[in-house]
């Protein structure tokens, strides 16, 4: 049961490029609502080209906003447990995967710990992150850059 005190808005990006991508994302969303918090907003699905390692199938990505009272490390623990439950196998960085759940923002906090960096350090370089985020949180201000998600998307488009 999620308590209403100390709620944080957390933005997650989900992606899948193996198996039945839509079904896997739907299962991940269901598990996130059970284990992390109340999903208050969800973007549509976006078909995107792979980034980093391009010789793999296209991804289906979406962003969600969740109200949670969990701390960032507990969210990371829960998202990794969900990935494992859904069959994710970690073989290579940026490789093909059944499911990927990344924490983009945790309120306005900046966290830099081993294994956990929030805001996600590469989100401003990735249109597949900024497009679904801009759909659900266009005016959310990146706490490190002081720019909204929409402004970051515009800057990336101009490159």
Catalytic residue among 21, 45, 58, 97: 97
Catalytic residue among 21, 55, 88, 159: 88
Given a contact cutoff of 8 angstroms between Cβ atoms, the answer to whether 113 and 138 are in contact is no
Given a contact cutoff of 8 angstroms between Cβ atoms, the answer to whether 49 and 127 are in contact is no
100 is catalytic: yes
127 is catalytic: no
* Half-sphere exposure of residue 159: CA atoms within 13 angstroms, side-chain side: 9
90 is catalytic: no
88 is catalytic: yes
Q: How far is CA 48 from the centre of its chain?
A: 14
Catalytic residue among 100, 112, 127, 158: 100
DSSP string, 13-80: EEEE-SSSHHHHHHHHHHHHHHHT-EEEEEPPPEEE--SSS-SSPPEEEEEEEEEE-S-HHHHHHHHH
Give the residue numbers annotated as catalytic, written as ranges.
Answer: 88, 97, 100, 102
């Amino acid at each position: 049961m999620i308590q209403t005190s100390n709620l944080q808005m957390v933005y997650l990006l989900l992606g899948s490029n193996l198996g039945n991508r839509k079904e896997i994302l739907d299962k991940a969303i269901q598990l996130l609502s059970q284990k992390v918090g109340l999903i208050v907003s969800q973007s549509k699905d976006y078909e995107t080209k792979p980034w980093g390692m391009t010789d793999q199938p296209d991804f289906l990505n979406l962003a969600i906003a969740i109200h949670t009272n969990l701390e960032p490390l507990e969210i990371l623990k829960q998202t990794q447990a969900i990935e494992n439950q859904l069959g994710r196998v970690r073989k290579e960085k940026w490789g093909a995967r059944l499911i990927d759940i990344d924490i983009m923002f945790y309120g306005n906090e900046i966290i830099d710990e081993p294994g956990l960096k929030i805001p996600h350090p590469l989100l401003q370089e990735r249109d597949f992150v900024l497009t679904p985020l801009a759909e659900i949180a266009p005016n959310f201000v990146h706490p490190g850059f002081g720019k909204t998600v929409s402004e970051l998307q515009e800057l990336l488009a101009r490159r």
